Chain A
Amino acid sequence: MGKTLVEKIWADHVVHSADGEPDVLFVDLHLVHEVTSPQAFDGLRAAGRDVRRPDLTLATEDHNVPTTDTDRPIADPVSRVQVDALRRNCSDFGVPLYSMGHPDQGIVHVVGPELGLTQPGMTIVCGDSHTATHGALGALAFGIGTSEVEHVLATQTLPQRPPETMAVTVEGDLPAGVTAKDLILAIIGQIGTAGGAGHVIEYRGEAIRALSLEGRMTVCNMSIEAGARAGLIAPDETTFDFLRGRRHAPGGVDWDNAVAYWRTLPSDADATYDREVVIDATRLSPYVTWGTNPGQALPLDASVPDPTSFNDPADRDAATRALAYMGLTAGVPLRDIAIDTVFLGSCTNGRLEDLRAAADVLRGRRVHAGVRALAVPGSMSVKAAAEGEGLDQVFRDAGFEWRSAGCSMCLGMNPDQLAPGQRSASTSNRNFEGRQGIGGRTHLVSPAVAAASAVTGRLTSPADLT
């Protein structure tokens, strides 16, 4: 019987296998950031251990860093201590680090692919649940906890059990104006926030093949929001075109050898999955979330749901609680929801294509009075590229703040936060209670919807603009 993409990558990375034990899996790339690593480095020191493969490890500063005044020391003393700890740890253990101010600094999941470090068929881990982003290039990439970070630093391996496989096949073409973000929100809305638990999702089908590599990253990025630890897409010409010529991509004869190997990776025609879900792309439209988990998503055309419409008691309770937290009333059209903040950025939607999509909506338009709008490139390299084509001016002219790279308002760990009661249209990945700041209310949207919403001050799609 044929093998799936995941099964092939797995088989190529088993270092040790024994009955009754997890497989010991080799890790090709370990990405590190300041938040989930300090206790791991301390563990190494306490045990007298070294980093086994600093040459397969890369660190960047992203969660804590401010996105303004990046040439000055971090003002928050607690954040500064954590970032300083990363610098000291990387220096002590010989791990390469892109610090604030470095031209390659940025969100760890934006940096890896843009440097060409993320390649098909690799195993990639990071102490961050959005590591699945790298699956867009056909890598098996997943988030780990700090104990596992220490384990990978010490051994370059992880004890792992093979996951169940799940195929999400997206048939047909996405209608004009419907983006990768809308697609993944629709998928999560359909299968639920635990729908992919215990599984690795392979996204397949016409609509997935037609996505750009950046769009594929948006889809894979939010696999964890569907409960799946990893999500990936078979490598194809789009993947190879993206990688060719990048700094860490193979060159010359190595490139040919690598591509020959990468072409063997896609799932065999007779491979089977433990679970299969089919999505009809042609029926999709821009999606937004209305609640406090990413599965609470609906088309922008819909209205805030009535909690009593849910059959399942847990869903009903969750919806009731979500509406109370979000300050929303059942039956109100989603388009009537007023927002006061727009966040464009994050590892989900902080790449050049995302900035272009928003800028296309904003040209010749202005941010609505009273709306604060932030454009935050996912990396300093994205920022430079965007400035190279004048996007920064488009954002500034429209009334957006143009920032430096970092996780920014995706999570409340740096100065970019919502105040209690503020409401955002955000291109990030989580709408949990307090995620963007204590008491803040989040509606997850695509970059195009974020830009259009900034213009009207309400949840709006570009097609609604006159």
Chain B
Amino acid sequence: MQSITVLTGRAVPLRRSDVDTDQIIPSDWLKRVERSGFGAGLFAQWRSEPGFVLDDPRYAGASVLVAGRNFGTGSSREHAVWALEDFGFRAVVSPKFADIFRNNCTKVGVVPVEIDDADVERIWAAVEADPTTDIVVDVDARRVRCAPAGVDLPFVLDDFTRWRLMEGLDDIGLTLRHADAIAHYESLRSSWRPRTLA
């Protein structure tokens, strides 16, 4: 994945809570076997509604999505993160993320930034007042800043994930450093554990 240390960019204020992955990328798009091109399907149903914020030209080119709480609830589809990334988002700010979605973000290189409802509200207000407002997501320092909103806050990101995001590292190579430990574990497993092949 692409490394990310400090992201500075404009934001889209999405004033909705419980945004589920079926809205982020509708299931019809899940039939594709490719890994790219999902941006065109981002929020496909809502984009057919007049006035949907993502279609507001004032927010074109934004790289941070600022949404209500419980963002990414629902299915495990990583396609939701692929769609956000392909559309141009490298960070999502929300008071709360669904677990699987949050985890998928860190595998793709999209930064999940969790801050309080009131702080999200302040960013929404600042960005709506001036869509050119920049937001800074500092992965290195684990802080999010939005000066006109008076926001300069830490966010939680564990050391390992921070390191992976900054280095752009995939997990598989990291885990295979422990190939001997995996083989050792396998040698100790009970023989009655089920196998799918005869």
B143-167 contacts to A, CB under 8 A, are 158-160
Interface size grouping (class) on chain B:
35 or more
A254 and B192 contact, CB distance less than 8 A: yes
Interface Cβ pair total, 8 Å cutoff: 205
Q: Which residues of B are in contact with A by a Cβ distance under 8 Å?
A: 15-18, 20, 22-23, 26-28, 30-35, 45, 68-70, 73-79, 81, 96-100, 103-104, 107-108, 117, 158-160, 170-172, 174-176, 178-179, 181-182, 185-186, 189-197
The verdict on A127 contacting chain B, using a C-beta distance below 8 Å, is yes
- Residues of chain A within 8 A of B189, CB atoms compared: 26
Known: A15-B178, A250-B192, A430-B22. A314 touches B69 (CB 8 A): yes
Report which of B22, B170, B193 forms a contact with A435, defined as CB distance below 8 A: B22
What number of A residues sit within 8 Å (CB to CB) of B?
86
B77 and A82 contact, CB distance less than 8 A: no
- Residues of chain B within 8 A of A35, CB atoms compared: 30-31, 77
Report which of B18, B100, B194 forms a contact with A129, defined as CB distance below 8 A: B100
A143 and B96 contact, CB distance less than 8 A: no
Report which of A57, A228, A433 forms a contact with B45, defined as CB distance below 8 A: A433
B196 and A117 contact, CB distance less than 8 A: yes
Known: A35-B30, A78-B32, A413-B30. A145 touches B100 (CB 8 A): yes
B160 and A20 contact, CB distance less than 8 A: yes
Give the CA-CA distance A321 to B16 in the complex, in Å: 10
Beyond known contacts A147-B107, A154-B176, A314-B69: 7 more, CB 8 A cutoff: A29-B196, A39-B35, A52-B182, A76-B31, A146-B78, A258-B190, A315-B17
Known: A145-B77, A435-B22, A438-B45. A194 touches B70 (CB 8 A): yes
- Residues of chain B within 8 A of A161, CB atoms compared: 158
Top 5 A-B pairs, shortest CB-CB distance: A145-B78, A147-B107, A254-B192, A143-B76, A145-B104
Give the CA-CA distance A54 to B198 in the complex, in Å: 11
In angstroms, how far is the closest chain A Cβ from the Cβ of B177?
A: 9
Report which of A128, A146, A159 forms a contact with B171, defined as CB distance below 8 A: A159
B28 and A413 contact, CB distance less than 8 A: yes
Q: Which residues of A are in contact with B by a Cβ distance under 8 Å?
A: 15-16, 20-22, 24, 26, 28-29, 35-36, 38-39, 42, 47, 49, 52-58, 63-64, 76, 78-79, 81-82, 85, 96, 116-117, 119, 122, 127-129, 131, 143-148, 150-151, 154-157, 159, 161, 193-194, 197-198, 224, 227-229, 248-250, 254-255, 257-258, 261, 293, 295, 314-315, 317-318, 321, 411-413, 430, 432-435, 438
